[in-house]
Structure 1
Amino acid sequence: MDYSALPNIKFADANNFFLIAGPCAIESEATAMEIAERVGEITDKLGIPYIFKGSYRKANRSRVDSFTGIGDEKALEILAKVGDRFGLPTTTDIHAEAEAAMAAQYVDVLQIPAFLCRQTDLIVAAAKTGKVVNIKKGQFLSAAGMEHARQKVLDSGNDQVWLTERGTTFGYTDLVVDFRGIPTMRRLGSPVVMDCTHSLQQPNQNSGVTGGRPEMIETIAKAAIVTGADGLFMETHPNPSEAQSDAANMLPLDQLEAILRKLIRVREAIL
């Protein structure tokens, strides 16, 4: 795994998976700092390279009255503060071409949401910032089909691109993970991340609030390690039921360390 584009990442020489973790959305500075500090303590103890994640704005909502954020500039400034205070690389998702250069001033990795993985102008704009571009595979797309999204980054002069598996639409209100997709995308030549929380969403509920199965996070993560994932993505929160976004599928923060310890043992067993 090449971490050269993330000079402030810890444990770059560790033979371990990397972790992208944080709240779904930036809700407040206090919550972001609490999560970053605790996950940082855990990953320091376990020797896991860690990237803090938080969405500065949630653009893909089921209802118009759903929480979208606390303000773009305010949330981006919190992301920058987290990175500075704890010496961590940070990431957030972007939704439109104009957001790429703005967000790149505050974070180290730009994430392309799954529904937008075919948006050429968005991907090109992200690539041209020179930041790492993490493209989530669309719920409607095959793993092999991500070759073209990846190539857009390379053709824009940026070779720092990651691909993230986050499940495939199954019926109208569920997702499934085809773990053949991890080695398939790895063969394209880029690091592959498993999104262990969004892959357990149950979207399109009649209530207008997405459901989830967080009790399966550990299972998804173990299978991802076995099938060769380079990194894991987990949204976590001290009190998921009180989270402003994706409350139904986030991992309780106090469960993270135990799961990561098991995943390290799984990785050691297959090496």
Structure 2
Amino acid sequence: MLNIPKLKNTDSNNFFLMAGPCAIEGEEIAFRIAEKIVKITDKLNIPYIFKGSYRKANRSRLDSFTGIGDEKALKILEKIGKEFGIPTVTDIHESQEAAMAAAYVDVLQIPAFLCRQTDLLMAAAKTGKVVNVKKGQFLSAGSMKYAVDKITENGNPNVLLTDRGNTFGYQDLIVDFRGIPEMRAFNVPVIMDCTHSLQQPNQASGVTGGKPALIETIAKAAIAVGADGLFIETHPDLSNAKSDAANMLKLDLLEGLLEKLVRVRQSIL
């Protein structure tokens, strides 16, 4: 079911991991993060996909960090993929971005707010790349069948679905873990976004908050109910991270967390 180029350790029966910084901030920090995670995932036999947004299009405030330039960031993603021999994933926001990003990365990601945008899903499908669609905070798990159909009916069977919680009031999210087996019934791999599901959006400051202390709780529960993969944004220096610092995992904590999650996975096989 998981057909992603360059993905290693696929014979380990482990969950796979999408992880990296929220946004590509520069080459040095991106390589530092990738190198650390590659060492950890190779040690634990976890299939790994490096994640980094080349541009952040969905920001509350006009002065929020959005990126270092599209081509510059995409070239960093491409370089990481080649240097470490791993697949990479990035978000796209408009139909015309699909072919551009597909020239540099292995997986195209559809942001949650855009998961119903038919033209965007079709454009991503037509690149032939693996397409990871994040479930909208405003949708039921069952509704994601139609996102899958939009991609597969355009000739691309390589679809991933990612849960990232449901809107709960105006400034919080809650995870309904029933959605993981429900979406797996569509015969596609399902991922749990352990960091964005703990966001506290729409804060008065215009900067999204979060509850990173609960990342382990969300991750353990997701593995226990059968998630195929985990999505975790991480950074070595949260105080200086330029995007989503409030809900990312500190990079130094990743190895210990993954060791626990591997044991959870082994216990349910």
How would you bin the TM-score normalised by the shorter chain? over 0.9
Partner residue of 1:69? 67
Deviations 1:213-244 (A, max 9, x none): 00100000000000100000000000112110
2:22 is paired with a residue whose SS is coil
2:96 is paired with a residue whose SS is helix
Structure 1 residue 206 displacement after superposition: 0.1
**Does residue 1:2 correspond to 2:2, yes or no?**
yes
Which of residues 138, 149, 152 in structure 1 aligns to 2:147?
A: 149
1:247 is paired with a residue whose SS is coil
1:235 is paired with a residue whose SS is strand
**Post-superposition, which runs of at least 4 consecutive aligned residues in structure 1 deviate over 3 A?**
none
Partner residue of 2:104? 106
State the AA in 2 paired with 1:37.
E
Which of residues 182, 188, 191 in structure 2 aligns to 1:190?
A: 188
Pairwise CA RMSD of aligned residues?
0.6
Partner residue of 1:163? 161
State the AA in 2 paired with 1:240.
L
2:142 is paired with a residue whose SS is coil
1:70 is paired with a residue whose SS is coil
2:72 is paired with a residue whose SS is helix
Partners in 2 of 1:62 and 1:88 — Cα distance? 32
TM-score when scaled to structure 1? Answer: 0.98
Structure 1 residue 13 displacement after superposition: 1.4
Structure 1 residue 270 displacement after superposition: 1.1
State the AA in 2 paired with 1:257.
E
Partner residue of 2:54? 56
1:125 is paired with a residue whose SS is helix
Which of residues 16, 19, 26 in structure 1 aligns to 2:17?
A: 19
Partners in 2 of 1:211 and 1:149 — Cα distance? 28
State how many pairs are aligned. Answer: 269
Partner residue of 1:210? 208
Partner residue of 2:77? 79
Partners in 2 of 1:268 and 1:9 — Cα distance? 20
Q: Any unmatched runs of 5+ in structure 2?
A: none
Partners in 2 of 1:205 and 1:220 — Cα distance? 22
Partner residue of 2:227? 229
Deviations 1:101-139 (A, max 9, x none): 000000000000000000000000000000000000000
Partners in 2 of 1:241 and 1:53 — Cα distance? 20
Q: Any unmatched runs of 5+ in structure 1?
A: none
